[in-house]
Amino acid sequence: MFERIKKAFTRASREDDKETVGPPSQMAAGPMSEWASTRGFGFSSADGGGALGLEGKIGGKRWRMELGRPTRNFIRGEELRGRAELGIDEDAAVLVLNRTLKEALDKQAYSIYTDHLQTSVDPKLPEEMRWLAMYDEVGWDELPAPFWERYAVLADRRENALAWVDGVLATAMLEWPRPGPDAETPFMLMLLRGKGYMRMEYRPPNMATLQHAALIFTTACENALGGLATPVKRP
């Protein structure tokens, strides 16, 4: 049965590159703009109906984070979403997500594909759900136990995950400012088709959460450029 699920997910369409973010929440532009300038980031406010966003370049590669309406049904309220055109090894595929979200997606996928009335795959299913069927969870001892308690890492190859998720990134994902996102808050980082992505529920909706999310995403982009610019050789 699970081979059938995997094949079905593999055939499903890729929607992430086509997504748009809706109108964002209001946030004081002054403090955010000042903070962004100290980091060398560009900042755009919600004025004029556009999405509130941060942007910049890492190693000459452009990245952007936007805040707006959720594009996934597992995110409540607003979604903070990042994307970077990294130009890294396009065959590398790695997903990091909190375990609570993984368990919820696992249950949803199992429910859908054990339903005898379900005869075809909905191409609008979240790409993350397809990944759960396509890729295996991996792990290694060098990262702290609290990281593995909170997060799961899935990858096409364990070597790609090792090259991307190091101690610095893992620590940043654990040390959110207080009050900050807890272990139940939907969060994920992805490497796919040479691009980097981040997606999370914007909770609590404050500047500290946004700032730390930007730190995590830019660190993830730096790691990807440093470790996956070329295909990782098998041992």
Q: Which residues pair with 192 in a beta bridge?
A: 195
Angle between helices 207-227 and 167-174 (to 10 degrees): 170
Q: Which of 218, 216, 214, 217 is nearest to 52 (CA)?
A: 214
pTM, 2 dp: 0.80
Q: What is the per-residue pLDDT across 137-188, written as a single tens digit (0 to 9) for each?
A: 999 999 999 999 999 999 999 999 999 999 999 999 999 999 889 999 999 9
Q: Which of 29-33, 101-105, 152-156, 169-173 has the lowest mean pLDDT?
A: 29-33
For the chain, what percent of residues have pLDDT higher than 70? Answer: 76
* 41 CB burial (10 A radius; 0-12, 13-18, 19+): buried
Q: Which 3 state secondary structure label does DSSP give 102? A: helix
Report how far residue 17's alpha carbon sits from residue 211's, in angstroms, rounded to the nearest whole number: 24
Nearest Cα neighbor of 89 from 159, 136, 153, 7 is: 159
pLDDT confidence of 233, banded at 50, 70, 90? low
User: In this predicted model, what pLDDT tens digit does every residue of 68-100 receive, in sequence order?
Assistant: 889 888 899 899 999 999 999 999 999 999 999
